[in-house]
Amino acid sequence: MTGPPAQARMGRTQRQHLVARILASHRVTSQEQLVELLAAEAVTSTQATVSRDLVDLGAIKVRSGDGESAYAIPELPREQRAPDDHLRRVFGDWVVEVDATDTIVVLRSPPGSAHVVGSALDRADLPEVAGTVAGDDTLFVVVRDPDRPATGAGAALADRLRDLAGLAARTPRDDTESD
């Protein structure tokens, strides 16, 4: 006698790919429904996890012809710059404290939500942001001065790592344009 499929944990990238497929093929009206649909695919997940996945995927709720809202992923390239109003909304909802040094801005958020802020900031493609590192409730934003290309040990290490990755060398112009 066979029972329901065994539940398994799945890596974030694979789970998000599955979430995108589910949203494309089902009318998903709630995060709880999405958790159930993942379970039907033998994937264990929580509402908090699918909430983060939906944010990472850029999913939005859209109203259908019958007035009911369902999740959808816009047909925009992932690399497209996030609009300023999206960044303002995320910061207004999730950032509770901001501090800074010369080259690092530290953002604090409620527990479990720093990645939401980091994802929004990464997608905003601000020229003065070199990158972000998110923990549970803290986000480090590494500052880049668009008017002063990186020099010294940091630039040398970046060149070496770029070479190891098989990436083209950056030109000074790359430092003033967004990636």
Q: What is the CATH number of the domain that holds 130?
A: 3.30.1360.40
Q: What value does the mean pLDDT take over residues 131-140?
A: 92
* 43 and 89 part of one domain: no
Instruction: Reply yes or no on whether the pLDDT at 84 is more than 90.
Output: no
Instruction: Reply yes or no on whether the pLDDT at 171 is more than 60.
Output: no
Residue 175 pLDDT: 46
pTM of the model: 0.50
Residue 60 pLDDT: 82
Among 4-8, 58-62, 154-158, the least confident range: 4-8
* 43 and 91 part of one domain: no
Instruction: Reply yes or no on whether the pLDDT at 77 is more than 50.
Output: no
CATH number at residue 36: 1.10.10.10
Residue 7 pLDDT: 55
Domain range for 131: 84-143
Contacts of 41 (CB under 8 A, 6+ apart): 5, 18, 22
Tell me whether residue 6 is in a domain.
no
Whole-number mean pLDDT of the chain? Answer: 81
Instruction: Reply yes or no on whether the pLDDT at 141 is more than 70.
Output: yes
Q: What value does the mean pLDDT take over residues 146-166?
A: 83
